[in-house]
Amino acid sequence: MELRHLRAFLTIAEEGAITRAAARLHIGQPALSRTLRQLETHLGVLLVDRSTHHLELTAAGRTFRDKAAAALAAVDTALDPRSLTALPLRLGHPWPALGDRTVPLLRRWDEEHPDVPLELRRIDDRTAGLTQGKVDVALLRGEVTAPGLVTELLLHEERVAAVPAGSELAEHDSLTLADLAAWPIAMNTVAGTTTPDLWPAAARPTAAIEVTNTDEWLTAIAAGRAVGITTSATRHLHAHPAIAYRPLTDAPPVPLLLAWRSGTPAHPAVPDLVRLAHEVVAAEQ
């Protein structure tokens, strides 16, 4: 097996079709199909289900996708000439990072660790790219169920409602879940923490607008198509003239955690980041 087998599989997984993947890789479709079969033969499992009109990954394929992505990310890092002088610490986050504590964290890091660049990367993914090897450590909200991760609780964030600025809801000083139930709810299905389970079973909203990132979420609310629920950190990093944020009095807070992969050599600066994050959080409370 060679790296080209992993790159071929990941391209197929991203494109969802052999034809598009072959065009992206600038190779013929038969050659790409042979490469995929070689990989499946080596692993002894079927990675791609070809029985449906739309190509889909099997359960084994979905598991292997993360492993392959992490392996290629490690190779790319090892072959990056910059890593010979300073190995950056990559901090992933799917939406508002550390809220209004983000800038203090970055400034403190630059002061205390000038030889180790801290790269903040927004990746709209449930683990902010952590399981795929795109980052070394991640700021995650809500329950973390991905296997093989170590987590450290930083704080609990209060939930707030995000409503169109010109709506009747914006006239209230605070809101409840029942106040929002009559509106369609914007739900980020990729990295959000809002689900219908927040509401009692008999009083759940009847409509939802599914979005895949924070920008789509903000647009749906600003346009008056939906309301949303988020954490207090969002209003600091994503202020919008057409959106009003109001305290949500009856929704449980959201845990904010630092997470990193276990079982693999972690970046040596991860313990320093964990310590500094706790200090920044404590200083702002």
Q: What is the pTM of this model?
A: 0.71
CATH 1.20.1280.290 fits 3-78, yes or no: no
Residue reference for tokens 């409370």: 285
CATH assignment, 81-156+255-284:
3.40.190.10
Whether the per-residue pLDDT at 91 is higher than 60: the answer is yes
pLDDT one-digit tens code per residue, 181-211: 999 999 999 989 999 999 999 999 999 999 9
| Summary mean pLDDT of the chain | 91
Q: What token pair was written down for 129? A: 């790219």
Integer CA distances (angstroms), 18 to 35, 40, 43, 127, 278, in order:
11, 15, 20, 27, 47
User: Would you say the CATH fold of 159-252 matches that of 81-156+255-284?
Assistant: yes
Q: pLDDT band for position 132 (50/70/90)?
A: confident
Whether the per-residue pLDDT at 84 is higher than 50: the answer is no
pLDDT of residue 6: 93
Across the range 70-92, mean pLDDT stands at 76
Strand ordering across the sheet containing 137-141: 118-122, 89-93, 137-141, 254-261, 149-157
Q: Parse the chain into domains and list their residue ranges.
A: 3-78, 81-156+255-284, 159-252
Q: Which CATH number fits domain 159-252: 3.90.180.10, 3.40.190.10, 3.20.20.60, 3.65.10.10?
A: 3.40.190.10
